[in-house]
Structures are given as structure tokens and as C-alpha cells.
Amino acid sequence: MNHNQIGFLSTYPPKACGIATFTQDLAKSLDKYFQNPPVVIAINNKNIKYNDRVIMKIQQQDRSAYKETAHILNHSSLKLIILEHEYGIFGGDCGEYILDFVDNLKLPLITTLHTVLPSPLPKQLYILKKLGEKSSMIITMANITKKMLEDIYDIPADKIAVIPHGVTLQTQCLSSDELKAAFGFKNRYIISTFGLLSPGKGLEYGIEAIAKIAPEYPNVLYLILGQTHPCIKETSGETYRKKLEDLVYKLNLKKNVKFINRYLLKGEIAQYLSISDIYLTPYLDQNQAVSGTLAYATGYGKVIISTPYLYAQEILADEKGLLVNFADADNIAEMIEIILMDPAKRKSLESKMLAFGKTMMWENVADIYAALIQKIISKVCKESLVDNGKMER
């Protein structure tokens, strides 16, 4: 345990956001490595009440606050900042206000990327290049994006670390069958998708796939778990959810598709994953470089059927899962039926995924982060000592 305290710049719960949950899990996992627990500077766009880990807030669209916060942190006891980056969580065009923060920050900076675009807009390219220049280390969660960072964003290979998305496993007191019975799903074959709803999730193709297999397998139940993404709700209301509900009604699938319309707590996610026989991500964005929900399903050793977005290609490589075409309900139905008809294949996929998922447990991921943090802080301290020595001479 060391004395160096670190800070995260990110969204943070109770904000309903995958990056907020990621930051909460990582900060908690790092607690044991530091005498003073990691703290959070929260990006805020509403009047949210946080716990004691949050020591400061930046109002998302208050440009001056980014520079002011950097100056305050420069004179604080913190030794390093970890920036959780996603274009949409910071203020300005493509989240450009974050550059006011990094341009004025004198502490060493690690930037974790939650989105890496192969064809960025000019502003997106500029922002990520600047973050690459200002950061001591850039962290990406998939090997497939490392070369993109080198070739497109001109970030040197030795400045890029690939660290997997962490997963928290929660032990269940009940077996999968007992949990199914407790939920009222006894003898049902559960397929699930969880996360914040938005049109890019492609859930309509999952529903259409269920319509194709339900006549032969009437015990199949597709659970669509999660509330509408807050940003989508602000701009479009519940239009997408209503579209999905109308499709369920049109296809006469009320007995085969169920919506759980709320933001799920970690314990609930664990329970729903435990009862899932297949986890489905029919996402439409082929450039998606990270998926926290897919990482969770991996950690729980689920059979995964997914479209081949970047992160899924890497996670499901070496026949650890099944990839389907984008926007192709027939292909999804075909893969579901393969698993339904072949219990041995299901067991094989579960076994491979469970073994791989163990490498993504937060305790293992935190070990890598802690070593990297200590290495950077030590390097900065040594450089400071050398510079001071030169000044004295």
C-alpha cells in the first residue's frame, strides 16, 4: 500500500451511465493499493447527490470550470489523474472542453478510452490526438484498437496499454433453475440483453429472431433489461422503446418478450445473467470498441451471440462465441436454434468463455492498473529529482 493518492475525472453513480459504473468499480478495486482511497472529480449535468468519494464536480457545459479545476488539482495532494474518456460526457463540440482541463493540468495523466473511432470527425481526431500528447499513458480495452491508435491518432505504441474491461462476479445463493422459478420463469429458456436502450442497440432484430423460433420453441423468453438512455430520452422520449413494444404486439410475442424498464443495480444484473442461457448483443455500430455489458456476460461464462462490432470480434475470437450479421434476424434465429439443438456445443462455449472471463475479474484488472499508476508516479518523481539537481548545480 502506498501513500500516493489518485483522482478520476469521469461521470459517477448515481448517474445512469456505463462509464460511471466502470469508474466506481475500478476506484473501489484500487482502494487496497493506496493508503488514501482514490477520489473522483465528477462530470455533472444535473443536481446529483454523490457519496464521499466525489470531492469536486464540473458542470458539463461550464467551460471555465475545466480550467479552474485543473489549477485546483495542481495544488492538491493528488499525484495522478485518470481520465475516463468518451466524447459525449464532456462539454462542447465532441466534448472539446476536456482539452481546457488537460492543457492546464500539471499532474501526470492516464487516459482510458471508451470509444476509439476508425473514421473520426476532424474534431474527434484532434481531441484524441491532443489527449495522446498530454497523457503519460493511453489505455484501451481491446487489442484490435491499439493499431488504430497508432495509425490514425499518431499515438506511439509504447504509450498505449491494453487493459481489459473489469468484471465483478456476485455469488448467487440460488441455482439458475431456482432463480428462474423465483422470477416466475420456471422451465423457460432465457435469452437476454441488458443496458441503456437506444436505437443503435438493434434490439428489433433480436425480437424478430424470437418470432422466427417461438413457434417451435414456445418456452423461449427474451428479456430486454434496462431503461432508455437518458440522452435519448431527453431528445426523443420513449420513441424507440415504443417502437419495440409495438413490434412485440404486432408479432404476437407478449409471452416471449419481456421488458424490464429500469436502471439495473449490480445485484440485479448478476441475477439476470445467472438465469440467462444466451446473452445477445445485436448492436448496429460496427466500430464499437468497448461494451461493458458484453464484458459482464463474458465474466459470467455465458453463451454469447453478437454482431461483429470491434469489441465483440475480439472477445468472441477463437470460437468463444457466435457472431451474426448486422441487422439480420434470420441469422440471429439460426444461431439461437443451433444452441437450442446442441447442448454439447452450449457447454463447450460456456466453458471457453468462463475460462476467458476469469482474466477480466476486477481484482486482476486492478493489479495491472496499480502497477501502471505506480510506475508513472515513480518516473515523474525521478524526473523531478533530476531537474531539481540540475537547478541546484
Average pLDDT, integer, range 92-105: 98
pTM for this entry: 0.88
pLDDT at res. 16? 83
Which DSSP state fits 375? H
Q: CA 171 to CA 182: how far, in whole Å?
A: 16
Q: CA 370 to CA 139: how far, in whole Å?
A: 13
pLDDT at res. 381? 78
| Cell numbers describing residue 373 | 499508476
Torsion, CA 7, CA 12, CA 14, CA 15, rounded to 10: 160
* 14-53 pLDDT tens trace: 998 889 999 999 999 999 999 999 999 999 988 889 999 9
In the predicted structure, residue 388 carries a pLDDT above the cut 60: no
Q: CA 130 to CA 109: how far, in whole Å?
A: 12
Backbone φ/ψ region at 301: left (φ over 0), alpha (ψ -120 to 50), beta: left
| Cell numbers describing residue 80 | 495522478
- DSSP SS3 for 218: coil
- DSSP SS3 for 332: helix
Would you list the DSSP string of 99-128? HHHHHH--S-EEEEES---SS--HHHHHHH
Question: CATH top-level class for 176-359?
Answer: alpha beta
List the alpha helices (DSSP H) in the chain.
18-30, 63-74, 98-104, 122-134, 143-151, 176-183, 203-213, 230-236, 239-250, 266-275, 292-299, 310-315, 329-341, 343-357, 362-392
Average pLDDT, integer, range 266-274: 89
In the predicted structure, residue 221 carries a pLDDT above the cut 70: yes
Q: What angle (nearest 5°) sits at the alpha carbon of residue 151, between those of residues 18 and 284?
A: 40
Contacts (Cβ under 8 Å, ≥6 apart) of 44: 15, 57, 58, 59, 60
* 146-157 pLDDT tens trace: 999 999 999 999
In the predicted structure, residue 10 carries a pLDDT above the cut 70: yes
Average pLDDT, integer, range 256-274: 91
In the predicted structure, residue 391 carries a pLDDT above the cut 50: no
Q: How far is CA 333 from the centre of its chain?
A: 26
Can you name the residues that pair with 322 across neighbouring β-strands? 305
Neighbours of 170 (CB within 10 A): 13
Q: Specify the pairing of strand 220-225 against strand 137-140.
A: unpaired
* 331-369 pLDDT tens trace: 999 999 999 999 999 999 999 999 999 889 999 999 999
Find the range with the poorest average confidence among 2-11, 209-218, 303-312: 2-11
Q: How far is CA 285 from the centre of its chain?
A: 15
In the predicted structure, residue 329 carries a pLDDT above the cut 60: yes
* 150-206 pLDDT tens trace: 999 999 999 999 999 999 877 777 788 999 999 999 999 999 999 989 999 999 999
Q: CA 42 to CA 15: how far, in whole Å?
A: 10
3-state helix, strand, coil in the chain (%, to 5): 50, 20, 35
Residue in the structure block whose three cell numbers are 453513480: 13
The CATH fold assigned to 5-166+362-392 is Rossmann fold (3.40.50)
Q: What is the mean pLDDT of the chain?
A: 93
Alpha carbon of 245 to those of 210, 256, 282: distances in Å?
14, 12, 17
Q: How far is CA 329 from the centre of its chain?
A: 25
* 113-165 pLDDT tens trace: 999 999 999 999 999 999 999 999 999 999 989 999 999 999 999 999 999 99
pLDDT at res. 229? 85
Alpha carbon of 197 to those of 67, 233, 241, 381, 383: distances in Å?
33, 9, 8, 45, 47
Tell me where in the chain the CATH 3.40.50.2000 domain(s) lie.
5-166+362-392, 176-359
Q: Specify the pairing of strand 257-260 against strand 303-306.
A: unpaired
